[in-house]
Chain A
Amino acid sequence: MDVFASLFMFWLVDMAHFDCMHITESCSDLHSNPLGGNTAAYLLLIKYWRRYRSCLAVDEMGETSSVENEFDDWFIESLKIYNNIHEYQLEHPTRVIEWTSEKTICVAGYSSDKNEILELLLPLKLFADDNQGLCAERDFKVVHGGFSDGSIHCLKHIPGTRYIIVAIDYVTSVCCHELSSSNCCFLLRCVVTNDGFNSNLQVWDLGGDDCDVIKRTGVLQRKSASSDKGVKIAPGLTGGPCVLHGSQISDIQLTELASGKPLYSLGKDIPDVLSSLQFVSDSVFLACACNGDLYVVDTRKPSALQNNPVGGREGVNWCMGVKTDLYSSDPSSCSVARLSSACQVVVSDLRDLRAPLCQAQLHVQRKTTSDDFMKVTWAPALDNCLAVSGFDGMVHIYDTASWRPELMEFQPLFIHRGHMMSDNEFDTSSAVVTTHVWHPSRPRTVLSAAVDGSVHVWDWVDKATASC
């Protein structure tokens, strides 16, 4: 840190010779050249620079700086464009937000050493529909918390239970945590050992309702793993608690949580790295490979495997978002959106995954070179809408109803800029959204998190209904 601080001091002295215009230019330079990839140093520098800049602005204008004005503008605008917005600051950033019940979510840290898993109760104000005005409670409550040694990059809740499953980066085994004895919660975790890839599954216990600590209770084995990419996980939809996991198409396996017994394994020699995994019915799941290939697998028919390449589109990395309707067996009710690192979205459904129903080139300016946080999700309670994040500090909402089978550029329905407008000293112009989720039943409520540890809960104003 000290080295960078002193480096920065030199740089500051340098900067002092330029006028204001120069400084602004250097700023944009700085943003496009992140110090040879040393993000920490880059962020630190930016942070110091912004502090310096705001000092400068105050000195020269006597009053408020332009940075502050930008924040104020957004603040005033937010009065009009959001019904509700809540901004929270976690101690450590999260890249997972997972619903564990109607009113609780799980978040977890992804730093390289020690991390926390927190189960948070959403503010009561969000749920007080009739007399929202009388409810002053607008804070998150930490209801359960636990400690994990590794970086958590994937966390899933198993519907109908209190189990959650967690995958930890650079790991090949899977472990299981229990949140509380009456309401269980499992975390899937992976650990690398010196002798190659030793895989196991750990079980954690949170204790009863009288205790708020998550503790580990056991280990499950994960068979083989050959990739150092993180394990992807998906909960089984029905039957006993089970979990689908894999890091490549070839090593996808369904494991029963209670016994650790494998229920199904794909066993096909396809070494493509897995990017997303999701069940669409009791026995059928979709697996999206990083190259954009989409596999439809029926666990009852091990030989049945259908490959659907994305076909001639740009983008090195792909991920998918699936919208399922469990009560409908109509294959057209299951929409799949595939998002590429080149900011293209291809929408198809289960009837034919090869031919796109519609597609779009998104209007996004990438601020990050990493594809780590790419995410696309369908709104569960809003027809044809999907949310995209991971390229910059914003969450974009698109309405696919107007999209066409030909690739065209489309403007978003709504943009959430809040993560770039935070008032703490962390540099917000370099903020990147790490993840987002939709509220399961409120049509326009979204939760999003960013690299600075901010978590926002927001509910935007629909212009169509607002105008009438």
Chain B
Amino acid sequence: MPEIKVTPLGAGQDVGRSCILVSIGGKNIMLDCGMHMGFNDDRRFPDFSYITQQGRLTEFLDCVIISHFHLDHCGALPYMSEMVGYDGPIYMTHPTKAICPILLEDFRKITVDKKGETNFFTSQMIKDCMKKVVPLNLHQTVQVDDELEIKAYYAGHVLGAAMVQIKVGSESVVYTGDYNMTPDRHLGAAWIDKCRPDILISESTYATTIRDSKRCRERDFLKKVHETVERGGKVLIPVFALGRAQELCILLETFWERMNMKAPIYFSTGLTEKANHYYKLFITWTNQKIRKTFVQRNMFEFKHIKAFDRSYADNPGPMVVFATPGMLHAGQSLQIFKKWAGNEKNMIIMPGYCVQGTIGHKILNGQKKLEMENRQTLEVKLQVEYMSFSAHADAKGIMQLIRMAEPRNMLLVHGEAKKMEFLKDKIEQEFTINCFMPANGETTTVITNPSVPVDISLNLLKREMALGGPLPDPKKPRTMHGTLIMKENSLRLVSPEQALKELGLNEHQLRFTCRVQLQDPHSDPDTLSRIYTHLKSVLKGYTIQHLPDGTVMVESIVIKVSSSAEEPNTKVLLLSWSYQDEDLGSFLSTLLKKGLPSGLSSM
């Protein structure tokens, strides 16, 4: 039986470093190539030695697909392609292709320049790796080779995030990456058509949670910003150039407009242009409202948010500043933080995750004294707020996606198995499909039932239709007879006559004969007449003939009567019918074995 194999190398029952191998129809595909942000050792990258102990990966993989630009989904890509070795195609969407190298370079700088690690990929490796990338458009089917095709669907989550359908022949797998089923201020909700894949591989990081509404998260953010500004404090929001920063800007802009707020909002230099550039470029990836208003007004050109100059940090009075980088490890955000940290009126809002070792990570752990360069210590007096704006699907979102795609099997990655028993039961009960949760390195095998297309001749169909009334009834399946010809990789169902003709064969006649004994005190011709009368009354609508040569014919079935001289009352009926009339023939023999009714006239 054909089967699909799925092996998580990094994401199964674990969070971070997504990497999943899929074998389908003889093709091997790697889905995502992520990095674990919490580790500094070998556990940082997926275990590629599972694929091969030595040498390059190129001959073992047909393609690599990256779902979105978050480092836990693409962070190990340069390591895999340049250090382990892979030269095949890497597929990602246009926005991911544009943003991914920026984030990789950013991360490389922290690890190598700040933490002084060696044995890490270089800038050149990132560039070389990105040369292998083939961009994907939404809903466009891309042929990787003659048999393997892939198609991207919108996943929400972050700009450019995609779900991918992988198809070989009639077998298919859908991989979701991270997705979001509720639209937010700048992105839409994930969507997929009813593609009925053999397996739906879904992330399940938030599968056991019921998420607080976006609105309440935003409310909290505004409340904090508003309170600080009201008391004359300054608010610092360290952000990545791309991601949730745009969403927060739209939110603050709307709020400022509505509340008629006067305190200035700044965005780090360079950052606005860079971000706006990407959003303008990829406007089709944002939500409907932004696309619709884009013609009149660019949502990413703000009225209240202005470019930041480093001298502004010393200005008196309240202000809000968005600055890069997001983890406070260098650059402008760190400079501003140093200036503002000593004043308890100020506030820093961390809207995302911070890697271990960064200042961001330290202050989120509640550290109040920080050691800076030149043995200086910095006292943290300002208020620290941690807010998560990540857009992931929760349990309800997963159920919604299953309802949309109608998969035959479900596979959950990125979560803890023992906490997900209930979800597994729920999926299995509600959709009557199997649900798998493989651990890292554990292979899930799913047997598929690929459909085999057969062409049927029109003549045969017409003939069958003529036999069974004018309209087909879907509730009453009918058997039809025909000959299956397997020739040149195709299957055809045709009428037996046509098959004979095509194959140049003569038809063989196959006849059944059968003897039935009967007690009947009449002469042989009389018995035959009595049989004729009996059958005439039982078989209405059939052609029954009493032939002068002493036989009765029902369709093609011949009935003869004979008896021996010793026992003239014991009649032997000889029945003979062709293979085509097997049903009627066996019915007649059974009927005649029961004998003839007594009240029959012999004509």
Binding site for B on A (CB under 8 A): 72, 75-76, 78-79, 84-91, 114, 116, 120, 123, 131, 133-147, 210-214, 423, 455
Contact = CB atoms under 8 A, between A and B. Distances in A.
A140 B215 CA distance: 16
A133 B426 contact: no
A88 B426 CA distance: 20
A138 B389 CA distance: 11
Interface stretch (B104-112, B131-139, B394-402): B394-402
| Residue from B258, B394, B422 whose CB has the most chain A CB atoms within 10 Å | B422
Contacts of B53: none
A136 B387 contact: yes
B364 interface: yes
10 contacts: A76-B259, A88-B211, A91-B395, A134-B384, A136-B388, A138-B220, A139-B211, A139-B394, A145-B422, A147-B429
Contacts of A146: 422
Contacts of B41: none
A133 to B, nearest CB: 4
B215 A87 contact: yes
A144 B383 CA distance: 36
A76 B220 CA distance: 11
Contacts of B420: 212
A138 B418 CA distance: 22
Contacts of A120: 210
Given A120-B210, A134-B384, A134-B386, 17 more contacts: A78-B219, A79-B219, A88-B211, A91-B396, A114-B429, A131-B366, A134-B385, A136-B387, A138-B216, A138-B217, A138-B220, A139-B206, A139-B210, A140-B209, A141-B210, A210-B418, A423-B215
Contacts of B395: 91, 142
B192 interface: no
Given A87-B213, A88-B210, A136 B418 contact: no
B425 A213 contact: yes
Nearest to B210: A140
Given A91-B395, A138-B217, A211-B421, A79 B223 contact: yes
B212 interface: yes
Nearest to B396: A91
Contact of B421 (A134, A137, A212): A212
Contacts of A141: 208-210
B213 to A, nearest CB: 4
Contacts of B572: none
A75 B422 contact: no
Given A138-B216, A147-B429, A89 B418 contact: no
B501 interface: no
Interface residues of B, number: 40
A123 B366 contact: no
A72 B422 CA distance: 37
B219 A85 contact: yes
A120 B418 CA distance: 16
Contact of A87 (B212, B222, B386): B212
A75 B385 CA distance: 21
B415 to A, nearest CB: 12
B386 A135 contact: yes
Nearest to B422: A145
| Residue from A88, A120, A135, A210 whose CB has the most chain B CB atoms within 10 Å | A88
B209 A142 contact: yes
Given A75-B219, A91-B395, A142 B211 contact: no
B215 A139 contact: no
Contacts of B399: 91
B384 A89 contact: no
Interface string B364-398: 11100000000000000001111110000011100
B421 A85 contact: no
Given A87-B212, A91-B396, A211-B421, A133 B222 contact: no
Contacts, number: 103
Nearest to B223: A79
A79 B425 contact: no
B419 interface: yes
A90 B220 CA distance: 21
Contacts of B217: 138
Contacts of A134: 364-366, 384-386
| Residue from A75, A120, A137 whose CB has the most chain B CB atoms within 10 Å | A75
Given A133-B386, A142-B210, A212 B219 contact: no
B216 A87 contact: yes
Given A139-B394, A141-B208, A79 B226 contact: yes
A455 B211 CA distance: 11
A213 B421 CA distance: 6
Nearest to B293: A63
B460 to A, nearest CB: 37
Given A79-B222, A79-B223, A136-B388, A142 B213 contact: no
The 10 closest A-B pairs by CB, nearest first: A145-B422, A140-B210, A87-B213, A139-B209, A133-B385, A136-B388, A138-B212, A136-B386, A86-B212, A142-B208
Contacts of B385: 133-134
Nearest to B217: A138
Contacts of A89: 210, 213, 396
A86 B219 CA distance: 10
Contacts of A142: 208-210, 395, 422-423
A134 B224 CA distance: 13
Contacts of B365: 134
B359 to A, nearest CB: 15
B212 A139 contact: yes
Interface in B393-435: 394-396, 399, 418-423, 425-426, 429
A136 B426 CA distance: 28
Contacts of B387: 136
A212 B215 contact: no
Contact of B213 (A76, A88, A145): A88
Contacts of A214: 422
Contact of A116 (B222, B364, B421, B426): B426
Contacts of A76: 258-259
A72 B222 CA distance: 13
A212 B419 contact: yes
A213 to B, nearest CB: 5
Contacts of B215: 75, 87, 423
B45 to A, nearest CB: 27
A423 B258 CA distance: 19
B427 to A, nearest CB: 12
Contacts of B383: 133
A124 to B, nearest CB: 12
Nearest to A208: B418
Given A75-B215, A133-B383, A423-B215, A144 B209 contact: no
